[in-house]
Amino acid sequence: MAWDSRNETIHSMTRRTAMLLPALALGSHALAQGTGPSDKPQRGGTLSYAVTAEPPTYDLHQTATFAVMHRLSPHYSTLLAYEPGKYPNIIGDLAQSWTISPDLLTYTFKLHPNIKFHDGTALTAEDVRVSYERLRNPPKGVSSFRQPSFTQIKSIETPDALTIVFKMVKVDASIMDTFASPWNSIFSAEKLKADPSYPVKTVMGSGPFKFVEHVAGSHWVGERFNDYFKAGKPYLDGFRAITMTPSAMVNAMAGKQIMAEFRGFTPNERDRIVKALGPDAQTHESPWMLHMLMNFNCEKKPFDDPRVRRAISLALDRWGGSANLSKVSQLGAVGGLVRPGSKWAATEAEMVQWPGYGRDMAANRAEAKRLLKEAGYENLSFTLINRNQQPYITTGVFIIDQLRQIGVKVEDKQVEIAAWYSAQTSGNFEALLDSFTQFSDDPTNVLVKYISTDRAPDVAIQRAIDRELDSLFDRQAEMVDPAERKKLVRQFENRLLDQAYAIPILWWQRIVVMESRVQGWTMSPTHMIYQDLADIWLK
């Protein structure tokens, strides 16, 4: 079958928050209304935006942090991409078109002709092949950060300069998301041959902007690539990504020293900026592809007992927490293991059947107390390893309060992030507050967090073995029928939340604020996509 774009339900994730803001309800401010039908993109201008962390590398293959994505994405292209404004539709980026064999084991891509790298050399299928080989079989000295995503690719062939063929070992329902991943940037084969690690220190891609300079700790500058293969784009002359502390960022936005920040603000920060900028502000909100969860160490008492884990989950008033914590933190919607609002998500009717998701908290707490008594842990106390930053601190306080109501005492031990990772890796924890994010809602990317620890020791840190979960995970990974796959995802969630090796608490809410003159940017449920800035223009 031939594809020009992916035929899936469109979920528009962007919504103006104007209705939610008290200032607007009082009619004291009017937020900009974004791009109207008569607005045509204008060329020119430099976009300045904040990024709250320094990049540890320039190599998108060897990192998972937004600090790299938000600076490097404008310099690179990927084979496919998510369609702006229509997430999760997938469209071609370097690929002009593609075909998929009926058995779903061969993917053939035709590249756009005349694609150039920033050094003027042509980008061909060989560059795509070599980049993907680097991702799935990294050479010595290179660490591919998402290597498990490529395990089902058997071979990559290039019959001609514009054609690339991926042959699969077996069906992989998430492979199109892998091709659209913003991390899988295409590097120059010639340069990789000379130095497989060149992208670590050299920025040279085929994206809409050329690299100009990086002043460590200060700023990063890109300028328009005039030979970009998408005619007429980009609109901006360039961009400037400024390294900023979160505390300084809000003031800088209010003072118009920067125009945007693309990761996310808290509700309080949003309101401060909107109040300062008035009609010159625009805000976008979406449930974030990022959730807070509590991992139990299932090898240690008392959390080797499923009754204790389930009791903890039962005691958390997620609905009440969502209503209240969303006013003061980035925490938002109640959800299971997949993002609320995504096509894989459970309905509320399905969720309330899970332990800890029912709305009758008195009944939940009574059941939690009964389970603890039955397990012999009526006066349970434990230490929660937590991070010393928001919204983890707020979540820790929420957990203490909720568990106090069933007589459980929690010591919320807030540590630096390095110490937090140390506890996670060594298993030196009873319970650990965690969060998890991916670049797409695809269940394979998301559910891996909850499979048996021996299958994914890098992310599934709860130290539990459950082959039933593993089997459900494997079956959904190969299931291409969305309805059937969704059923398997539901079964996975039912099993996980019954056993409660790790329990979701709340999903985050992504709040992006920018100056109203920034146009063409697309909100999405993840801060990892739509960051190549090709469609952005300044009004």
CB of 48 to another protein, least distance (A): 9
Q: How far is the CB of 32 from another protein (least distance, A)?
A: 18
Report d(CA 470, CA 125) in Å as an integer. Answer: 36
Q: What angle do CA 207, 281, 29 make, to 5 degrees?
A: 165
The conformation of residue 87, written as its DSSP 8-state character, comes to: T
Tokens of 236: 């901006």
Nearest-approach distance from CB 342 to another protein, in angstroms: 17
Question: Considering the rule CB under 8 A, would residue 438 count as an interface residue with another protein?
Answer: yes
- Report d(CA 178, CA 356) in Å as an integer: 33
Total residue count of the chain as it appears in this document: 539
268 lies in the site for another protein, by CB under 8 A: no
Distance CA 456, CA 440 (A): 18
Query: Which residue lies nearer to another protein by CB, 75 or 449?
Result: 449
CA-CA distance, 328 to 68, in Å (whole number)?
28
Question: If you ran DSSP here, which 8-state letter would residue 461 be given?
Answer: T
To another protein, the closest distance from the beta carbon of 415 in angstroms equals 8
CA distance 87 to 129: 26
Interatomic CA distance for residues 60 and 62, integer angstroms: 5
User: Would you give the binding string for another protein spanning residues 328-367, x where CB under 8 A is met?
Assistant: ----------------------------------------
Closest separation in Å from C-beta 206 to another protein: 24
Under rule CB under 8 A, residue 63 binds another protein: yes
Decide: is 279 part of the binding site for another protein (CB under 8 A).
no
- Specify whether the backbone of 46 is left (phi greater than 0), alpha (psi in -120 to 50) or beta: beta
Q: Which two tokens stand for residue 200?
A: 């670590």
Q: Kindly indicate which of the ranges 54-62, 122-130, 167-175, 509-517 contains the residues binding another protein, using the contact rule CB under 8 A.
A: 54-62
Contact between 154 and another protein (CB under 8 A)? no
Three-state DSSP class for 225? coil
Is the CB of residue 425 less than 8 Å from the CB of residue 513? no
The mark string for 187-226 relative to another protein (x by CB under 8 A, - otherwise) is -------------xx-------------xxxxx-------
Among 20, 106, 116, 145, contact with another protein (rule: CB under 8 A): 145
| Interface mask toward another protein for 224-263; x: CB under 8 A | ----------------x-xxxx-xxx-xx-xxxxx-----
Cα angle for residues 28, 32, 35 (degrees, 5° grid): 165
CB of residue 121 to another protein, shortest distance in Å: 26
Give the interface with another protein as residue ranges (CB under 8 A): 54-57, 63-66, 141, 143-148, 200-201, 215-219, 240, 242-245, 247-249, 251-252, 254-258, 276, 415-423, 425, 436-438, 456-459
